[in-house]
Amino acid sequence: DAGITQSPRHKVTETGTPVTLRCHQTENHRYMYWYRQDPGHGLRLIHYSYGVKDTDKGEVSDGYSVSRSKTEDFLLTLESATSSQTSVYFCAISDRGLAKNIQYFGAGTRLSVL
Amino acid sequence: DQQVKQNSPSLSVQEGRISILNCDYTNSMFDYFLWYKKYPAEGPTFLISISSIKDKNEDGRFTVFLNKSAKHLSLHIVPSQPGDSAVYFCAARNSGAGSYQLTFGKGTKLSVIP
């Protein structure tokens, strides 16, 4: 898993509650990403970071926010969870954003919003 | 608008035979292509990649072919083994703005039958 830890691995929550997912890396890679995987949609980028405190939106960013205060940690927050955010969330990291884009993925977090 | 398309949701192949997974793209700015493999309850793992300046890249049993004029790439697995049964994602990098982002296809589920 290239030194990537996602926590929690599973979470069940209720609609309207805030949820934070954590991605922790030990590779000192500059770039970090959050994706969601849903049946029929593949992997879709939510947000990404290109350095500490440097983040930007991806394809499906509505309802999500992120923060990166340290190189090793990238947090994904659902301010008020909705059932449409039930999904499997993957964190990824890469080192050479411009020269190569091999991204290495964590094991995922399965989130259920009831 | 889906820029990376994997039109076959699933594929079944006999053990020992060749598996061919296909991927089409629409964006001419894509300059680097990757294949990922994903087992259930795990994160995607990088398999093989190819730059747009090449038309073939080989790594053991895995070969990726790129036809730029047709905007088509394929992954060949020879010989196929039961352990190859997984979901395969095609991904592409845009050489323009935000080149550290990848766009993924929806995936093809490969089943290798013993």
Residues of A whose CB is below 8 A from B44: 43, 90, 105
Q: Is the Cβ–Cβ distance between A3 and A106 less than 8 Å?
A: no
Q: Say which residues have a Cβ less than 8 Å from residue B101's Cβ, sequence separation at least 6.
A: A33, A45, A48, A58, A101, B93, B94
pLDDT of residue A96: 66
* pLDDT band, residue A78 (cuts 50/70/90): very high
Q: Does B100 touch chain A (CB under 8 A)?
A: yes
CB contact under 8 A, A40 and B106: yes
- Better-predicted residue by pLDDT, B95 or A94: A94
CB contact under 8 A, B99 and A107: no
Closest CA–CA distance from residue B81 to any residue of chain A (Å): 23
The structure tokens 């049946």 sit at A39
pLDDT of residue A2: 65
Q: Is the Cβ–Cβ distance between A91 and A32 less than 8 Å?
A: yes
* pLDDT band, residue A105 (cuts 50/70/90): very high
Mean pLDDT value across residues B27-50 = 94
Closest CA–CA distance from residue B104 to any residue of chain A (Å): 6
pLDDT of residue B70: 96
Chain centroid to Cα A58, Å, comes to 11
